[in-house]
């Protein structure tokens, strides 16, 4: 089975690229983030023509997540247990489903903005709700993984220059402790195999030169339980999907499993 995750940074303008990538990469399940569209606006028919069922969750223009599956799509759950709000609004940032015997979640963790912004506290509260949700999901007894844009670089090596990020979100101790809490629950960080550089990144700002010079971050992650992690036969960042005209600022992560 091949599973993948991709922050597409708006599904509508990126749809032709997503459809092309589905046809070439052939994932069995694709988790999407940052749809920037409502649930009803997701292009369900376009992906159905390629054999994928869709579970989408979108509210407003700044978030939205989905799971596309060609191996079944059951028990869809939208939102986290005890999920916090921001400015009295709920964001669409998490969706779970059972696909081909796996329990998978697509998550788009809040950015946090900066350390003095209320959004940073919201991010930490959201991560606490994610931990609670993972605990509940593990009780199902199904092989489990949570995939998506975590907006956290797990280590200093996961950013191109830690000096640039030292006073910003994405690298703070409380954020990294939230990832450690997931590992304490038995989840493992499925590290992508480097294809071009010694350390794979998944996000590069649109500013000129950042992508070709590999000034990026590894903030898109796959956290898997022992069953899924033990079944990994390959994993990589598809840098090719970040190239060309009108790309997302993120690249997909692809994970191959032998279950």
Please report the pLDDT score of residue 238 as a whole number: 96
% residues pLDDT > 70 (the chain): 100
Catalytic, out of 28, 57, 91, 108: 108
Are residues 243 and 178 in contact, defined by beta-carbon separation less than 8 angstroms?
no
| Beta strands, E only, 88-219 | 94-99, 102-108, 144-149, 188-189, 203-204, 216-217
Burial of 163 (0-12, 13-18, 19+ CB in 10 A): exposed
Q: Where are the domains of the chain?
A: 2-257
Please report the pLDDT score of residue 149 as a whole number: 98
pLDDT higher than threshold 90 for residue 71: yes
DSSP run (H or E) holding 129: helix 118-138
**How many other β-carbons are positioned within 10 Å of the β-carbon of residue 239?**
19
Catalytic annotation present for 197: no
Please report the pLDDT score of residue 79 as a whole number: 98
Distance CA 51, CA 36 (A): 23
Residue numbers belonging to the annotated binding site for Mg(2+): 7, 34, 149, 151, 249-250
pLDDT in tens, 80-132: 999 999 999 999 999 999 999 999 999 999 999 999 999 999 999 999 999 99
DSSP run (H or E) holding 228: helix 226-230
Strand pairing category for 2-7 and 65-69: unpaired
pLDDT higher than threshold 80 for residue 60: no
Catalytic annotation present for 161: no
Please report the pLDDT score of residue 42 as a whole number: 96
Distance CA 130, CA 115 (A): 20
Catalytic annotation present for 250: yes
pLDDT higher than threshold 80 for residue 61: no
Reported as a pLDDT band with limits 50, 70 and 90, residue 199 is confident
DSSP run (H or E) holding 162: helix 162-165
pLDDT higher than threshold 90 for residue 195: no
DSSP run (H or E) holding 77: strand 74-78
Reported as a pLDDT band with limits 50, 70 and 90, residue 175 is very high
User: What are the phi and psi torsion angles at 36 (to 5°)?
Assistant: 55, 40
Catalytic, out of 122, 189, 225, 250: 250
Q: Which tokens sit at 23?
A: 């046809």
Dmax of the chain from CA atoms? 46
Higher pLDDT, 218 or 197: 218
Please report the pLDDT score of residue 196 as a whole number: 80
Distance CA 148, CA 108 (A): 6
pLDDT higher than threshold 80 for residue 204: yes
CATH 3.40.109.10 fits 2-257, yes or no: no
Reported as a pLDDT band with limits 50, 70 and 90, residue 166 is confident
- Which residue matches tokens 């995939």? 147
Q: Is 77 left (phi over 0), alpha (psi -120 to 50) or beta?
A: beta
Nearest-5° angle of CA 195, CA 200, CA 167? 165
Please state which of the ranges 7-21, 97-111, 190-204, 245-259 shows the lowest mean pLDDT: 190-204
Please report the pLDDT score of residue 208 as a whole number: 86
pLDDT higher than threshold 90 for residue 47: yes
Residue numbers belonging to the annotated binding site: 7, 34, 149, 151, 249-250
pLDDT higher than threshold 80 for residue 143: yes
- Please give the average per-residue pLDDT across 9-20, as a whole number: 97
Mean pLDDT, the chain, as a whole number? 96
pLDDT in tens, 20-33: 999 999 999 999 99
Please report the pLDDT score of residue 5 as a whole number: 98
Catalytic, out of 149, 189, 220, 238: 149
């Amino acid at each position: 089975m091949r599973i993948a995750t991709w922050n597409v940074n708006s599904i509508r303008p990126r749809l032709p690229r997503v459809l092309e990538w589905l046809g070439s990469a052939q994932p069995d399940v694709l988790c999407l983030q940052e749809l920037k569209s409502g649930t009803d606006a997701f292009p369900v028919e376009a992906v159905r023509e390629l054999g994928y069922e869709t579970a989408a969750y979108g509210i407003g223009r700044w978030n939205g997540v989905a799971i596309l599956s060609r191996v079944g799509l059951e028990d869809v759950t939208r939102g986290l247990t005890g999920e916090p709000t921001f400015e009295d609004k709920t964001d669409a940032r998490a969706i779970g489903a059972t696909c081909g015997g796996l329990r998978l979640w697509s998550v788009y963790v809040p950015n946090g903005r900066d350390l003095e912004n209320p959004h940073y506290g919201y991010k930490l509260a959201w991560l606490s709700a994610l931990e609670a949700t993972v605990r509940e999901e593990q009780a199902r007894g199904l092989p489990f993984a949570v995939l998506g844009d975590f907006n956290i670089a797990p280590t200093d090596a996961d950013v191109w220059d830690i000096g640039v990020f030292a006073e910003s979100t994405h690298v703070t101790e409380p954020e990294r402790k939230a990832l450690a809490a997931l590992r304490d629950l038995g989840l493992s960080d499925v590290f992508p195999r480097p294809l071009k550089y010694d350390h794979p990144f998944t996000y590069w700002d649109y500013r000129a030169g950042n992508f070709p010079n590999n000034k990026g971050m590894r903030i898109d992650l796959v956290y898997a339980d022992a069953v899924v992690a033990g079944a990994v036969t390959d994993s990589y960042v598809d840098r090719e999907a970040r190239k060309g005209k009108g790309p997302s600022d993120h690249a997909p992560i692809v994970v191959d499993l032998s279950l």
